[in-house]
Amino acid sequence: DAGVTQSPTHLIKTRGQQVTLRCSPKSGHDTVSWYQQALGQGPQFIFQYYEEEERQRGNFPDRFSGHQFPNYSSELNVNALLLGDSALYLCASSRGTTNEQYFGPGTRLTVT
Amino acid sequence: RKEVEQDPGPFNVPEGATVAFNCTYSNSASQSFFWYRQDCRKEPKLLMSVYSSGNEDGRFTAQLNRASQYISLLIRDSKLSDSATYLCVASGGSYIPTFGRGTSLIVHP
């Protein structure tokens, strides 16, 4: 049973560029949530997708956008990258919007 | 005041010790609670859900105190492999999951 997968594992971008991160949920899961985790902090909720729609959104600017596909996989897009966007980006999947979440290994983004 | 607060530690304990962590939450509408374990530079892994009646899984026991708005995690007979950061999560009626910053546990021989 495949768990949550994310790609790429690492990414280095320059300020002002745009980035797309990808996530495939655990088999049987239909909901995907994205988190940003800075060093020494807990994961911060960015948004959640269910039935291809953004259902909840945390306190992140519109530069952060996402998409969910019919196969439940998801993308996170970040435009106009800032140095402060450097972090570990985690995807978590669940069955439904309120159940236990399972995390992927994350994408480590470095903005220079 | 942060929505979910944890003592960052580190908690340094010998093998075999019992250790307890607390996590306070400020949103009284919070309905779901979980504990996750995170190893250095890895993703969080679900440890256990926290039910109103409490939850036990082997050496791990989680409790919820709604009146005082905190959840706890008790680890008995600590193992070296329990060394990690323990994250608590609370989510409210609107289901925006809020993580604490984590409590670091170091179990030494």
- CA closest to A101 among chain B residues: B46
Q: How far apart are CA A42 and CA A15, in angstroms?
A: 24
CB neighbourhood size of B48 (10 A): 19
| pLDDT interval class at A63 (50, 70, 90) | very high
Burial tier of A39 (Cβ tally within 10 Å: 0-12, 13-18, 19+): exposed
What percentage of chain B carries pLDDT values higher than 90? 80
Q: Does B19 touch chain A (CB under 8 A)?
A: no
Mean pLDDT of all residues belonging to chain A: 95
Q: Does A101 touch chain B (CB under 8 A)?
A: yes
How many residue pairs bridge chain A and chain B with CB atoms within 8 Å of each other? 45
| pLDDT interval class at A6 (50, 70, 90) | very high
Q: Is the pLDDT of residue B5 over 80?
A: yes
Contact B101 A41 (CB under 8 A): yes
